[in-house]
Amino acid sequence: MNIKTVATTPFLDQKPGTSGVRKLVSVFKQPHYLENFIQSIFDSIEDYQGQTMILGGDGRYYNRQAIQTILKMAAANGVGRVKVGRGGILSTPATSCVIRKYNAFGGIILSASHNPGGPDGDFGVKYNTSNGGPAPEKVTAAIFERSKVIDKYKILEAPDVDLDTLGEFKLGDMVVEVIDSVQDYEQLMESIFDFDKIREMLTSGKFRMCIDSMHAVTGPYAHALFEQRLGAPAGTVKNGTPLEDFGGGHPDPNLVYAHDLVEILFGENPPDFGAASDGDGDRNMILGRKFFVTPSDSLAVLAANATLVPGYKDGIAGVARSMPTSQAVDRVAASLGIDCYETPTGWKFFGNLLDAGKITLCGEESFGTGSNHIREKDGLWAVLFWLNILAVKQQPVEQLMREHWHSFGRNYYSRHDYEAIDSDRANQLIAKLREQIPTLKGKKFGDREVEYSDDFSYTDPVDGSVSKNQGIRIGFTDGSRIVYRLSGTGTQGATLRIYLESYEPDPSKHDLDPQQSLADLIAIADEVAQVRALTGMEKPTVIT
């Protein structure tokens, strides 16, 4: 075995954000950059020698090359076996599924999720632990600390391996096993959902749907599940071949970036159901005929109807949502008499609650929904969940949503993003907001009076760890909220996110455009934070 120890010097910017380290491809391609981060992972974890690890990515540019490097480093660092998705492809939820199924020590996911790909796009690396979920903060902090002082890494000198043929071979002392990217995940989905019922609906001739994989990782999964397994006609899955640059698009399933799908569902004679997923397959957008389901509402609908799905037929233990996610699911939890937890943004905060059995379902406003079946959010799982509910209830999406609002009231919701702001300006804006926190309580803005204002802090109920400064909240006495936070996934400048929410119990007022219904809150958000003045931007870059 020819293990080389390579001298290196640290990069000081390898701090994992909301979901791993994300940088421009040009940053990742600097000599030793990827290697430093991977070695920092191995240096921060213990007792992995001889164990199994899982490796895969969303197929974006640099995926294959990075996988070759990581395999050789894993072999040099004493990993026993690496299961790698064929062609280097594993969606984020599939990786989580495979880690759990085979009791792996952990896994490495190569993705920058919904960020654009290609030589000028982004790349990312994320480490997941043995529960299948994103490493908790104490692990990512240790990796970051290590990355700041690293002076060498280990790599096996060996030719590149064949990633495209299923089977096992040796790389040094380590076994590499190239696995089918879809099979384990497909089996898990079949164990949760009523595939017969969904198939009946999809082959009835009365229900049409369109799935947009946005040239990203879910293509092979969606083809296998919907077209091959569940009988939907060929062509149901659009943009179903993963491309290294996602066809030049921005694989983010929202009304702005998933415009192909939006045109179909809001066009003439639209299908009954539409869905899109993101670069690495953990996000989902749900559409009905000329109808958009807000992600926060989607979580509430899944919670309210969970017992219609075989995998959750005995009920759910509890739910959780990230702090900026609307409180729609809170109302469902209250009516079911179960707990509802509020966590900071990012899936890693759901892990302990799921492991401890405190929650069954969880979600984020950013098009992420998931459950205790794995430890990542799961785009196609959410699509199957909706299809299972629709197959049982035999209702159009819009009617289902309206009946839900009728029972629980409607939480009008929107997120305004200001992207690529100069970082200093963004930090200044947040600093000024923090200064105002103590002065806001009791203040009146038109009809609304501030009930509380704080910088969200979370104490994990399972391990007691505390995460501070997770977003500035302004809550009003009528239950409406404004939340401000800076993104932890962007790669250029800073992104300010403003989350807006108000509650409307009256069914005769459930037909408004959210931007209209939230107009006064939008104005208050600008007045308090001086967004336009401080960013120099007249309007948000993206509204979801």
Placement of tokens 């997941």 in the chain: 128
> Nearer Cβ to ligand VG1, position 72 or 250?
250
Which of 113, 181, 296, 366 is labelled catalytic? 113
Instruction: Decide if 495 contacts 420 (C-beta within 8 A).
Output: yes
Establish if 348 lies at the interface with ligand VG1 (CB under 6 A).
Answer: no
> Nearer Cβ to ligand VG1, position 96 or 345?
345
Give the three-state DSSP class for 328.
helix
Establish if 294 lies at the interface with Co ion (CB under 5 A).
Answer: no
Cβ 506 to ligand VG1 shortest distance, Å: 30
User: CA dihedral in degrees (378, 303, 339, 409; nearest 10)?
Assistant: 120
C-alpha span between 462 and 400 (Å, rounded): 35
Helix (H) or strand (E) holding 403: helix 397-408
Establish if 347 lies at the interface with ligand VG1 (CB under 6 A).
Answer: yes
Considering only the stretches 72-80, 160-168, 269-277, 340-348, report the one whose residues sit in contact with ligand VG1 under the rule CB under 6 A: 340-348
Complete DSSP assignment for 477-529: TTS-EEEEEE-SS-SSSEEEEEEEEEEE--GGG--S-HHHHTHHHHHHHHHHH
Establish if 28 lies at the interface with ligand VG1 (CB under 6 A).
Answer: no
Establish if 19 lies at the interface with ligand VG1 (CB under 6 A).
Answer: yes
Establish if 364 lies at the interface with Co ion (CB under 5 A).
Answer: no
What is the crossing angle of helices 63-76 and 33-44, to 10°?
A: 40
Query: How many helices (H) does the chain have, and how many strands (E)?
Result: 18, 27
Beta bridge pairs of residue 152: 7
Establish if 212 lies at the interface with ligand VG1 (CB under 6 A).
Answer: no
Kindly write out the interface string for residues 265-284 of this chain, putting x where it contacts ligand VG1 by CB under 6 A and - elsewhere: -------------x---xx-
Instruction: Decide if 361 contacts 446 (C-beta within 8 A).
Output: no
The single residue among 184, 194, 280, 378 that binds Co ion, judged by CB under 5 A, is 280
> Nearer Cβ to ligand VG1, position 195 or 349?
349
Complete DSSP assignment for 420-447: EE-HHHHHHHHHHHHHHHHHHTT-EETT
Chain residues 128-187 in contact with ligand VG1, contact rule CB under 6 A: none
> Nearer Cβ to ligand VG1, position 279 or 409?
279
Cβ 485 to ligand VG1 shortest distance, Å: 7
> Nearer Cβ to ligand VG1, position 278 or 330?
278
Helix (H) or strand (E) holding 144: helix 137-147
Cβ 89 to Co ion shortest distance, Å: 15
Cβ neighbours of residue 480 under 8 Å, at least 6 residues apart?
448, 500, 501, 502, 503, 521
Considering only the stretches 42-50, 160-168, 293-301, 487-495, report the one whose residues sit in contact with ligand VG1 under the rule CB under 6 A: 487-495
> Nearer Cβ to ligand VG1, position 19 or 296?
19
The DSSP output letter for 232 is P
Phi and psi at residue 313, to the nearest 5°: -65, -25
Establish if 297 lies at the interface with Co ion (CB under 5 A).
Answer: no
Considering only the stretches 25-33, 156-164, 364-372, 534-542, report the one whose residues sit in contact with ligand VG1 under the rule CB under 6 A: 364-372
Establish if 18 lies at the interface with ligand VG1 (CB under 6 A).
Answer: yes
Residue nearest to Co ion as judged by C-beta position = 113
Cβ neighbours of residue 67 under 8 Å, at least 6 residues apart?
55, 56, 57, 84, 88, 110, 163
> Nearer Cβ to ligand VG1, position 160 or 422?
422
Task: Give, in order, the Cα–Cα distances in Å from 503 to each of 289, 291, 362, 406.
Answer: 25, 20, 21, 12
C-alpha span between 488 and 430 (Å, rounded): 14
Cβ 365 to ligand VG1 shortest distance, Å: 7
- Alpha helices for 154-287 (secondary structure H): 183-192, 195-202, 218-222, 259-265
Establish if 96 lies at the interface with ligand VG1 (CB under 6 A).
Answer: no
The single residue among 83, 100, 114, 215 that binds ligand VG1, judged by CB under 6 A, is 114
Considering only the stretches 352-360, 421-429, 486-494, 506-514, report the one whose residues sit in contact with ligand VG1 under the rule CB under 6 A: 486-494
> Nearer Cβ to Co ion, position 113 or 326?
113
Question: Residue 113 catalytic?
Answer: yes
The single residue among 14, 91, 96, 113 that binds Co ion, judged by CB under 5 A, is 113
- Please report, as a single letter, which amino acid is at residue 177: E
Query: Taking Cα atoms as reference points, which of 233, 411, 256, 260 lies closest to residue 324?
Result: 411
The single residue among 58, 278, 364, 378 that binds Co ion, judged by CB under 5 A, is 278
Establish if 113 lies at the interface with ligand VG1 (CB under 6 A).
Answer: yes
With CB under 5 A, what is the number of residues at the site for Co ion? 5
Q: Which does 364 bind (CB under 5 to 8 A by kind): ligand VG1, Co ion, none?
A: ligand VG1
The single residue among 43, 282, 365, 501 that binds Co ion, judged by CB under 5 A, is 282
Cβ 278 to ligand VG1 shortest distance, Å: 5
Establish if 250 lies at the interface with ligand VG1 (CB under 6 A).
Answer: no
Phi and psi at residue 153, to the nearest 5°: -140, 160
Cβ neighbours of residue 235 under 8 Å, at least 6 residues apart?
none
- Please report, as a single letter, which amino acid is at residue 385: F
C-alpha span between 306 and 285 (Å, rounded): 18
> Nearer Cβ to ligand VG1, position 305 or 345?
345
Catalytic residues: 113
Positions touching Co ion (CB under 5 A) are: 113, 278, 280, 282-283
Positions touching ligand VG1 (CB under 6 A) are: 18-19, 113-114, 278, 282-283, 322, 345-347, 364, 366, 368, 487-489, 497
